[in-house]
């Protein structure tokens, strides 16, 4: 299901969030796109790859 900003707004109240905010996979995908998809994400420090050819792996969200 695609959510409009108005529909998402109805799920948020000053003192609580509707449970679907935490459980709906479509909302999760929307968060990944809108929040994490456009931002620079720190994943490590140069000390974790001190030598040429060294590498470091990690996961960002579900990818």
Domains of the chain: which residue ranges?
1-63
Percentage of residues in the chain having pLDDT higher than 90: 57
Write out the H or E segment, with its range, that includes residue 28: helix 25-31
Tokens of 19: 């449970």
pLDDT tier for residue 15 given thresholds of 50, 70 and 90: very high
- At 48 the pLDDT is 94
d(CA 41, CA 36): 8
- At 49 the pLDDT is 94
Q: How many residues does the chain have?
A: 63
pLDDT tier for residue 63 given thresholds of 50, 70 and 90: low
Count Cβ neighbours within 10 Å for each residue of 43-62 and write b for 16 or more, e otherwise.
eeeeeeeeeeeeeeeeeeee
- At 43 the pLDDT is 86
Write down the residue that tokens 């792996």 correspond to: 57
């Amino acid at each position: 299901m695609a959510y409009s900003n108005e529909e998402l707004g109805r799920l948020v109240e000053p003192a609580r969030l509707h449970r679907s905010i935490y459980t709906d996979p479509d909302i999760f995908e929307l968060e990944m796109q809108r929040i994490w998809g456009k931002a620079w994400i720190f994943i490590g420090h140069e000390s974790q790859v001190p030598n040429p050819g060294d590498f470091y792996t990690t996961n960002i969200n579900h990818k």
